[in-house]
Amino acid sequence: MDLDILINSLRNYDGITRKNFIRGATQILDETYNIGGRTALGFGDDASALDIGNDTLLLMAADGMWGRLIEGDPRWAGYCSVLVNVNDIAAMGGVPMGMTNVISVNKEDICNEIMLGIKEGVEKFGIPMVGGHIHPDTPYTALDVSITGIVGKDDVITSCGAKIGDSVIIGMDLDGRQHPKFPLNWDTTSHKTPELVQSQITVMNSIAKKHLLTAGKDISNPGILGTLGMLLEASGVGAIVELEKIPRNKKVSWDEWLKVYPGSGFVLTSKEENVKECIEMLQEVNITSQVAGIITEDKKLNLRHDNQEKVVFDFNHDIIMGIKEERS
Amino acid sequence: MDLDILINSLRNYDGITRKNFIRGATQILDETYNIGGRTALGFGDDASALDIGNDTLLLMAADGMWGRLIEGDPRWAGYCSVLVNVNDIAAMGGVPMGMTNVISVNKEDICNEIMLGIKEGVEKFGIPMVGGHIHPDTPYTALDVSITGIVGKDDVITSCGAKIGDSVIIGMDLDGRQHPKFPLNWDTTSHKTPELVQSQITVMNSIAKKHLLTAGKDISNPGILGTLGMLLEASGVGAIVELEKIPRNKKVSWDEWLKVYPGSGFVLTSKEENVKECIEMLQEVNITSQVAGIITEDKKLNLRHDNQEKVVFDFNHDIIMGIKEERS
């Protein structure tokens, strides 16, 4: 395998490049993100956190579904809108409470398909869709979902806490299939029981309560290394990752695997003494986990394979989201 | 004035007719709206409510901006996205905590204008926009915002508590102007201080804590009587309203006034003994309030003027949202 070709393919993957736009848009809100004085974490993490007292943080996230997903399979898009939001709360170590949605449609049958998909997601993940807004007459179809969860103030898992020397743990549920219409959707939940799927969410809350991690994110559109890249950006550090240590279903090529959006997958960092317990807890719920690298001072994400080591992102020049996060 | 012409114009107003689509879409989720067992209020209210323990309800609402608003004035649309969400929480008697957004754009300057408008809204209302999602490459422009707030479990103001014999109080800030591009936007906040604007939000939390209301909604796209209609539907009751008792800025015709989306306006119901205190509290923050009607058993909204009485909505046949709400 040519590491340069793999890296070049990743660097030009639109799941990663689309994240570039975030910085320009959100910096307008920089001055006001802590208005009210409750914001513990603003833009840049999987969910934002607001201090509501009683040692509790409110977690809030929002996700819009890609238009091509809704057009290609509105029911699957509805299902995924639940999946991605619930995973955003799980990635913060939180307990999801409920969701709202905004649907823009002009065909009743498409709207029905989206709602049926949402219902399947709600039943699978056990989190209710409690409200929202419908535009019944738009010239386009769109689906946006937001979620609110809660987490203990001292338990929250952020993207910004990775420290030099920490282990990089990659956890992926390998029992899945590439969605027939969207090969980069690594579907690990459709065929599983709600119990198992929900245990993959609640395990993150258990890990959070035990303070086993220094940072974590759920793997989303930017894929495994793109997601790790955002974590490194937010933490202001780098990492060296050994390709073959990343848990993979061998039916999927590396090029595709590194870009998949998994039903359950996390990029985590942990102090060495906590790695074993963390991995055991993840393995118990079918998330195959392994130390795949180490956090470095050098602000680069380097990938190693077959005695080669190449730079995937150099954060001295490259930007994914471009947000270095600070906890208020 | 011909009451029939006025009523006919209202009944065909798309701010009201667009609400018809909600029922068909949301009923798919009826069985699952209380999955997890925390849902205190689901679809049908200004915000949904989830019981998170400690006698606290989480309030969640989401609103999508009309495309014509974004196209006509993206900055104003950004500002309004904050206004409408904050008012949804106020209408429930809650304290807004924070917001997230999903923006779909393809032009950087439009995105900037939207974000600048959001920033103005955040500064005016004092509630932070803490996160969200950007689609940088959609063939359309859209803005969806969701908000989370909290309220005491026993204090929450719902749409479904109006009882026969209750007074119908209409409160409107009369110090405003019709937006030059959108005459049905009754802008009462642009020219006011953040302090006064925020006091119009917090007064609802104070009224809620005192348990002065039986039901309430903020006036939104369906206008004064459309919003009252939704409250009556949710409560399973009717009302008789005296047109001239509705507080109005005399510069605006009745036909337009009944359709405006105000910066600050509420439709409330109250037992007679609490009316005076409630009105005094609203008047103190510049929301001109008056008893304009009474709740009746007959499931109709009747409008009186000049010795005439006509039916605006007959809920035995008519549907606005078609949701009769029950508190879990």
Vertex B124 angle, CA B118 and B126, to 5°: 90
- What's the half-sphere exposure (Cβ side, CA atoms, 13 Å) at B156? 29
> In this predicted model, what pLDDT tens digit does every residue of B27-40 receive, in sequence order?
888 888 889 899 98
pLDDT in tens, chain A (328 residues): 799 999 999 998 888 877 766 666 778 888 888 898 999 887 778 899 999 998 999 999 999 888 889 999 999 999 999 999 999 999 999 999 999 999 988 888 999 999 999 999 999 999 999 988 888 888 888 999 999 999 999 999 999 999 999 999 999 999 999 999 999 999 999 999 999 999 999 999 999 999 999 999 999 999 999 999 999 999 999 999 999 999 999 999 999 999 999 999 999 999 999 999 999 999 999 999 999 999 999 999 999 999 999 999 999 988 877 666 655 5
**Angstroms from B279 CA to nearest CA on chain A:** 28
The model's pLDDT over A17-41, given as tens digits with 9 standing for 90+, comes to 777 666 667 788 888 888 989 998 8
* Contact between chains at A58 and B98 (C-beta distance less than 8 A): yes
CA–CA min distance B308, chain A (Å):
35
Query: Strand pairing partners for B187?
Result: B177
Residue A323 is predicted with a pLDDT of 63
CA distances from A313 to A10, A228, B66 (A): 10, 10, 40
Distance from CA of A285 to the nearest CA of B (A): 20
Match 């030059």 to its residue by tokens.
Answer: B180
CATH assignment of A34-152, among 3.30.1330.10, 3.90.1280.10, 3.40.718.10, 3.40.50.300: 3.30.1330.10
Q: Which of B48, B119, B150 sits opposite A131 (nearest CB)?
A: B48
C-beta atoms of B61 and A131 within 8 A: yes
How far apart, in Å, are the Cα atoms of B305 and each of A95, B4, B243, B291, B308? 53, 11, 6, 15, 5
Q: Do A320 and A154 contact (CB within 8 A), yes or no? A: no
Q: A63 to chain B nearest CA, in Å?
A: 6
Rounded to a whole number, what is the distance in Å from the CA of B29 to chain A's nearest CA?
6
Q: How far is B51 from chain A (nearest CA, A)?
A: 9
Q: Is A148 on the interface with B (CB under 8 A)?
A: yes
Q: What is the pLDDT of residue A59?
A: 97
- Gap between the Cα atoms of B268 and B328, Å rounded: 22
Q: Is A25's CB within 8 Å of B103's CB?
A: yes
**Of A32, A123, A130, which is closest to B123 when you measure between CB atoms?**
A32
Which of A199, A198, A257, A275 is closest to A15 using CA atoms? Answer: A257
* pLDDT the model gives residue A269: 98
Is A138 in contact with B140 (Cβ distance < 8 A)?
yes
The answer to whether A50 contacts B97, with C-beta atoms less than 8 Å apart, is: yes
Chain B CB contacts of A100 under 8 Å are: 48, 60-62, 146
CATH number belonging to the domain at B39-152, selected among 3.40.50.300, 3.40.50.2000, 3.30.1330.10, 3.40.1180.10: 3.30.1330.10
List of chain B residues with pLDDT < 70: 20-24, 322-328
Inter-chain contacts counted by CB atoms under 8 A, chains A and B = 232
Of the candidates A80, A115, A3, which has an alpha carbon nearest to the alpha carbon of residue A261? A80
Say if residues B255 and B216 touch (Cβ distance below 8 Å): no
Range(s) for CATH 3.90.650.10 in chain B? 3-17+157-314
| B79, β-bridge pairs | none
Determine the distance in angstroms separating the CA of A57 from the nearest CA of chain B, rounded to an integer: 11
A89 touches chain B (CB under 8 A): no
Task: Find the closest chain A residue to B60 by CA distance.
Answer: A100
Q: A118 and chain B: CB distance < 8 Å anywhere?
A: yes
Residue B59 identity (one-letter amino acid):
L
Q: How far apart are CA A217 and CA A89, in angstroms?
A: 10
Find all residues with CB under 8 Å of A83, minimum gap 6, and list them.
Answer: A121, A124, A125, A189, A263
For chain A, say whether B305 makes contact (Cβ under 8 Å).
no
- What pLDDT score was predicted for residue A302? 97
Contact A63 B24 (CB under 8 A): no
| Partner residue opposite A36 with nearest CB, options B25, B128, B133 | B128
For residue A68, the model assigns a pLDDT of 85
Instruction: Please list every residue in chain A whose beta carbon sits closer than 8 Å to the beta carbon of residue B144.
Output: 62, 64, 102, 133, 144
pLDDT at B15: 82
Domain span(s) for CATH 3.30.1330.10 in chain B: 39-152
| Closest residue in A to B141 (Cα–Cα) | A140
Q: Is B24 on the interface with A (CB under 8 A)?
A: yes
B66 secondary structure, DSSP code:
P
In one-letter notation, the amino acid at residue B113 is E
CA A191 to CA A233: how far, in whole Å?
35
pLDDT in tens, A179-198: 999 999 999 999 999 999 99
B207 touches chain A (CB under 8 A): no
Q: Which fold has domain B3-17+157-314?
A: Phosphoribosyl-aminoimidazole Synthetase; Chain A, domain 2 (3.90.650)
